[in-house]
């Protein structure tokens, strides 16, 4: 729960049946409370600006205003899960830092995976609020690429040793980063730009929110880069610089 209260959810979908499916799934999960169901982005925008909402389940293809445009309009942005029948909006979802992207019809198993992500994100936020100062990174030498093969990062109230060669990619999520390694993921309250300065030359900034270990790349095209556990997008503003670096792999 968030501060010992239920997690407040809003559903926005112009299809009444699709909204009922999500509402039914949520009814089976303790501590999650539906506080609003809306069938248009216009209607929900007026309400969301005045409501206390933790999680937004948002359809994309709706009349007048797309769900992705609604996210951009909101001043207070809840944790958002996009729900859609269309795969082509996945990249924009990355850009908007949504928690998950669910394709309709939404089965309960896949839905529960999204709920797990939401719980992890909310727990992280609570930890950050109560432990902000303790998450500062250890001072490092100026040239970690030469002197060190690892970095110590503050995560879960301890300093964790992470070897650079184990890192697959690093993702920026608001005011913290997720370090994805071959063994596990680590969350730390460090700006991506700061952590990037501590990485050796094998790491490439390919997106506003992603840095990837070039030694772990197994394939890439004009839009995405894949490693053994997934993929990351290539941002438009980083494409030229990223490709200059990626050419060295050919």
> What pLDDT sits at residue 142?
33
Is residue 2 included in any domain, yes or no?
no
Is residue 156 included in any domain, yes or no?
yes
The token pair at 207 is 């997106």
Please count the structural domains in the chain: 2
| Residue at token pair 């019809």 | 105
Per-residue pLDDT of the chain (250 residues; tens, 9 = 90+): 565 679 999 999 999 999 999 999 999 999 999 999 999 999 999 889 889 999 999 999 999 999 999 999 998 889 999 999 887 777 777 677 788 889 999 999 989 988 988 887 777 555 544 444 344 444 443 333 334 688 888 887 778 889 999 999 999 987 789 999 988 999 888 888 888 888 888 999 999 999 999 999 999 888 899 999 889 999 888 888 888 888 777 6
Q: Dump the DSSP string for 132-172.
A: TGGGPPPP--S-HHHH-SEEEEEETTEEEEEEGGGEEEEEE
> What pLDDT sits at residue 150?
86
pTM of this prediction? 0.55
Domain range enclosing 21: 7-130
Q: Is the peptide bond before 105 cis (omega within 30 degrees of 0)?
A: yes
Whether residue 229 sits in one domain with residue 158: yes
Is residue 1 included in any domain, yes or no?
no
């Amino acid at each position: 729960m968030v501060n010992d209260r239920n997690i407040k959810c809003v559903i926005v979908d112009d299809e009444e049946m699709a909204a009922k499916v999500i509402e039914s799934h949520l009814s089976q999960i303790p501590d999650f409370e539906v506080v609003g169901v809306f069938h248009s982005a216009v209607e929900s925008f007026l309400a969301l600006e005045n409501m206390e909402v933790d999680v937004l389940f948002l359809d994309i293809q709706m009349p007048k205003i797309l769900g992705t445009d609604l996210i951009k309009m909101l001043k207070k942005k809840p944790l958002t899960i996009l729900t859609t029948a269309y795969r082509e909006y996945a990249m924009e979802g990355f850009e908007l830092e949504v928690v998950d992207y669910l394709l309709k019809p939404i089965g309960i198993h896949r839905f529960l995976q999204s709920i797990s992500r939401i719980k992890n994100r909310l727990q992280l936020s609570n930890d950050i609020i109560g432990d902000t100062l303790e998450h500062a990174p250890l001072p490092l030498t100026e040239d970690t690429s030469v002197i060190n093969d690892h970095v110590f990062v503050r995560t879960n109230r301890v300093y964790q040793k992470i070897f650079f060669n184990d890192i697959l990619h690093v993702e920026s999520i608001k005011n913290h980063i997720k370090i994805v390694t071959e063994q596990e993921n680590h969350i730390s309250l460090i700006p991506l730009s700061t952590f990037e300065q501590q990485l050796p030359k094998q790491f490439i900034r390919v997106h506003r929110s992603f840095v990837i270990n070039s030694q772990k790349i197994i394939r890439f095209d004009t839009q995405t880069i894949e490693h053994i556990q997934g993929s990351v997008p290539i941002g438009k503003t980083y494409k030229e610089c990223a490709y200059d670096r990626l050419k060295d792999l050919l």
